[in-house]
Amino acid sequence: MSVPEAFIRDVKDALSNLYDPIHLQSHPLVEQLALPVGRGETAGEALRQLFWDTIKSLQPDASIPTTAPEWITYRLLWQYYVQAFTLAQTCEELGLSQRSFYRRHRQGLEAVASLLWTKHRRQQPVPAPNHAPPPQARATAEAIRLATQSRREAVNLCQVLREAQATLRPLAEQQGVRLTVHCPATLPAAYGDPALFHQIILNVLTEALRLVAEDALSLTVTARAQDSLWEVSGLSGTHASTEDLQMRNGLAVSEALLEFYGGRLWLEQGEDGSLALCFTVPAAEPVTVLVIDDDLNTIQLYRRYLQGPPYSVRAARTCEELEAHLAESRPDVILLDVLMPIEDGWKLLQRLKTTDETRDIPVIICSVLPQPQLALALGAARVLQKPINESDLLETIEQAIQQRHQP
């Protein structure tokens, strides 16, 4: 059976972003494959598991020699996508040239796509390549792209709210709607891009103007221990169904951005039939992770693993970049590769642990070299041997930070 090129491209895109939960959650394959989602499982997690299982199913029978082409293609897929080896590491491990890698990679990719196409896809035609997604899907994808690429910082929500009110005021006056805001003098700081939080608030209030029951809206903001709760009341139930709200670009974007930052948005109906748009903004203390590694692919892998709150990832590929980052601010944890050209990672570790300004920063050694005793003796908090998977990295960073704050 011939597999459409558009479907193969979708498979390749999903595999290339296998550890990017935001990308997978809204991936077109979730719908195309009619993917069942288990209890407590996200669509992105279900899609990742499906790819793991599909690649695993390509493992040759034990009776086939391990030098056979089938084994090489299977191991390439497993190492490159499941174990997240870099291209160079995969080629070295399998003894392949880059040209051979790309040839076998294409064969493996087509095999995975063929299995998914024949066994799992929904019994309906896959949209043509030029089939445009709905406007709210395009707007949401663009918003998530911006959130992923933007620099994160502590956000003063009270200030952002005042700015959003000022932006909205001309439209509210034009429509004859009075907006009353009840907000404490201080709110828990959020963490992200201030411009995107401004857009979240502005989108919700703009859509609320369209749904206003009479001529007044009320926004009540409540500070809580772990987040802040925002409630916009005064809405008409005639046009405020959940289905209606999902079709509105502004609310779709706000919902996606809030989920990206760890919050949520919903429609709430009171006992008296009144309706309110509600959302939460988590209070997140940023954890700054400084990656010291000369390999760009490794840096990008760590960025995928640590994408989203509470992590903020910075990277230094040279001593000069390291000095610039340390002069700007102190990271909460450092990931250090000791095997780098020109720069000596062991000397960097010694300098970091013997300098007053940096000695208390946990340093996690991430290297292909199995020398944990030396690393720990020089002051490293933890040691991880490459290739490193997402769960091990997250757990190790959390342990290092907890250890730092212990008396």
Burial of 217 (0-12, 13-18, 19+ CB in 10 A): buried
* DSSP line for 217-251: EEEEEEE-SSEEEEEEEEE-TTS--HHHHHT-HHH
pLDDT, residue 243, reads 47
Q: Which residue is associated with the tokens 């828990």?
A: 188
Delimit the CATH 3.30.565.10 region(s) of the chain: 148-282
Residues in a beta bridge with 218: 180, 233
User: Please, what is the average pLDDT of the chain?
Assistant: 84
Instruction: Say if residues 54 and 77 touch (Cβ distance below 8 Å).
Output: no
Q: Residue 24 carries which side chain, given as an amino acid letter?
A: L
- 301-335 burial, b at 16+ Cβ within 10 Å, e below that, comes to bbbbbbbbbebbbbbbbebeebeebbeeeebbbbb
The verdict on domain 148-282 having CATH code 3.30.70.20 is no
Per this entry, what is the length of the chain? 407
Delimit the CATH 3.40.50.2300 region(s) of the chain: 287-405
Structure tokens at 381: 């908090």
Residues 340-394: tens digit of each pLDDT: 877 788 999 999 999 999 999 999 999 888 788 999 999 999 999 888 988 889 8
Our measurement of the distance from residue 69's CA atom to the centroid of its chain's CA atoms, rounded to an integer in Å, reads 35
pLDDT, residue 405, reads 56
**Torsion angle, CA of 336/338/343/344, rounded to 10 degrees?**
120
Q: Give the CATH class of 287-405.
A: alpha beta
Instruction: Say if residues 253 and 197 touch (Cβ distance below 8 Å).
Output: no
Contacts with 332 (C-beta within 8 Å, 6 or more apart), sequence order: 287, 288, 289, 361, 362, 401
pLDDT, residue 175, reads 92
- 128-149 burial, b at 16+ Cβ within 10 Å, e below that, comes to eeeeeeeebeebbbebbeebee
Structure tokens at 153: 């910082």
Contacts with 209 (C-beta within 8 Å, 6 or more apart), sequence order: 168, 171, 172, 175, 177, 217
Instruction: Say if residues 57 and 118 touch (Cβ distance below 8 Å).
Output: no
User: What value does the CA radius of gyration of the chain take, rounded to a whole number of Å?
Assistant: 25
pLDDT-flagged residues of the chain (< 50): 122-126, 242-243, 407
Instruction: Say if residues 86 and 298 touch (Cβ distance below 8 Å).
Output: yes
Q: Which residue is associated with the tokens 């035609």?
A: 125
